[in-house]
Amino acid sequence: MTSPATTAAALVLEDGRVFRGESYGAIGASLGEVVFSTGMTGYQETLTDPSYHRQIVVQTAPQIGNTGWNDEDDESGRIWVAGYVVRDPARVPSNWRSTRSLDDELVRQGVVGIAGIDTRMLTRHLREQGAMRAGVFSGDELGSVEEMLDRVRTSPQMKGADLAGDVTTPQPYVVDAIGERRFRVAALDLGIKSNTPRMMAARGIEVHVLPLTSTVDDVLSVKPDGVFLSNGPGDPATQAHAVELTRNVLDRKVPLFGICFGNQILGRALGRDTYKMRYGHRGINIPVIDVATGKVAITAQNHGFALEGEPGEEFASDFGRVQLSHYCPNDGTVEGVRALEVPAFSVQYHPEAAAGPHDAAPLFDEFVTMMEQGR
């Protein structure tokens, strides 16, 4: 096999650091917030997770693309990452489900990437300096460092980014329950991953996925046994409408469950602020402690914002007492919130875990129990 000619590419960070490599996927320019993910598997799920909208993802796993691209693992209808940074792309993908190479899929979807990067050095830099704006440039877009840096420094920040509207479904749709329908859930789509309704459907839940602009009447017209707040991209501080909607749901005591962005929205609805973390949590082996039981779960995560507060802290809200129910022992970040007087809880991590460990899957059963008790 002869190796194809390579095209030079550069990753330019807002602080002036430049990493040179070769183009991977589409040739062109992409701008976004550069973040690293430590997952050793699941690159297809990562690439298609709408929460990564406007982010340039660095994979710390050195080899990417080994299992190609398949028709089953997408978490949404397209790749959402703005750009992609890898060390060593697979030359020959191999998997029984693979229908094409990752490289070809990135080209097909116009996603600009870069390969041959020392992703360990880059990750250490991001851990020290924090996630920041960056650009990947190749082909005609590869300019002088000054030019490229100027484009990076004039691109939008992640703090203050209002992005859920870009990824939400334009129209409501229904995911049928598998087997007998036991419950109906209204799921507010802030960037929902396909595996979430699937996990609910497997528990007899008919999921009505609703656009971000839905009103409380739209939600109630589903006659929901429960309301779900999904994951999603951007800064939770921009989501005033979702927060207000959540407050209306809490007022009516409809059981409510949220994941990731949904956790931040519920926390804000209960009066807590969110802040931007230095470099966030993205990976599939991140420990979380449940304050109530002291048990540790190994979890899949993808977040750059978090709720303020101390592990286990209790406080008064407009809806009664609340506890910050889960935290990450690595750094003390709040990873869950539970209302103690209305039926509502949420977690910052991913019980749908695609890819990832299944420790947290029972949270969907807890939502089911909450809906049973709500009847």
Ligand X SMILES: NC(=O)CC[C@H](N)C(=O)O
Q: 229, 188 in Cβ contact below 8 A?
A: yes
Nearest CB to ligand X, comparing residues 139 and 156: 156
Should residue 258 be labelled a site residue for ligand X when binding is judged by CB under 6 A? no
If one asks whether residue 246 binds ligand X (CB under 6 A), the answer comes out as no
Q: Is 305 in the site for ligand X (CB under 6 A)?
A: yes
Does the annotation place 332 within a ligand binding site?
no
| Contact region with ligand X (CB under 6 A), list: 58-66, 147-155, 226-234, 286-294 | 226-234
| Strand ranges for 27-138 from DSSP E | 29-37, 55-59, 63-64, 83-85, 88-89, 112-115, 132-138
Piece of the chain touching ligand X by CB under 6 A; list 130-138, 210-218, 229-237, 332-340 = 229-237
149 vs 245, which CB is nearer to ligand X?
A: 245
- The three-state (H, E, C) secondary structure of 179-212, written as one string: CCCCEEEEEECCCCCCHHHHHHHCCCEEEEEECC
The answer to whether residues 319 and 338 touch, using CB atoms and an 8 Å cutoff, is: no
The answer to whether 302 contacts ligand X (rule: CB under 6 A) is yes
Phi, psi at 95, each rounded to 5°: -165, 145
CB of 346 to ligand X, least distance (A): 11
Q: Does 37 bind ligand X (CB under 6 A)?
A: no
Nearer to ligand X, 261 or 364 (CB): 261
In the bound state with ligand X, the residue whose beta carbon lies nearer, of 161 and 220, is: 161
Does residue 287 contact residue 277 with C-beta atoms inside 8 Å? no
Using rule CB under 6 A, residue 303 touches ligand X = yes
Check residue 261 for interaction with ligand X (CB under 6 A).
yes
Known active-site residue 350: yes
**Looking only at residues 42 through 81 of this chain, which bind ligand X when binding is defined by CB under 6 A?**
51
Who's near 346: CB < 8 A, 6+ residues apart?
Answer: 229, 256, 257, 258, 259, 262, 263, 266, 267, 336, 337
> Rounded to whole angstroms, how far apart are CA atoms 299 and 297?
6
Q: How far is the CB of 53 from ligand X (least distance, A)?
A: 9
Q: Is 234 in the site for ligand X (CB under 6 A)?
A: yes
CA-only gyration radius of the chain, Å? 21
Element containing residue 105 per DSSP (H, E): helix 102-108
Helix (H, G, I), strand (E, B) or coil at 128: helix
Q: Which of 59, 168, 195, 231 binds ligand X (CB under 6 A)?
A: 231
| Residue 70 annotated as lining a ligand binding site | no
Binds ligand X (CB under 6 A): choice among 28, 197, 232, 255: 232
137 is in an annotated binding site: no
The catalytically annotated residue of 206, 260, 281, 303 is 260
Of residues 1 through 30, those in contact with ligand X by CB under 6 A are none
260 binds ligand X (CB under 6 A): yes
125 is known as an active-site residue:
no
* CA distance linking residue 303 with residue 290, whole number of Å: 18
* 147 catalytic per annotation: no
315 has binding-site annotation: no
Instruction: Kindly state whether residue 282 participates in binding ligand X, applying the rule CB under 6 A.
Output: no
How far apart are CB 333 and ligand X at their closest, in Å?
A: 10
Q: Which is nearer to ligand X, 66 or 274 (CB)?
A: 274
Q: Is 323 in the site for ligand X (CB under 6 A)?
A: no
**Which of these, 21, 234, 280, 275, lies nearest to 127 by C-alpha position?**
280
Residue 39 touching ligand X (CB under 6 A): no
Q: Helices 240-251 & 261-269, crossing angle to 10 degrees?
A: 60
Yes or no: say if 271 and 317 are a contact pair by the CB < 8 Å rule: yes
Any binding-site annotation on 51? yes
Q: Which residues bind ligand X (CB under 6 A)?
A: 51, 231-234, 260-261, 302-305
Task: State the binding site for L-glutamine.
Answer: 51, 232, 234, 261, 264, 302, 304-305
Q: Which residues are catalytic?
A: 260, 350, 352
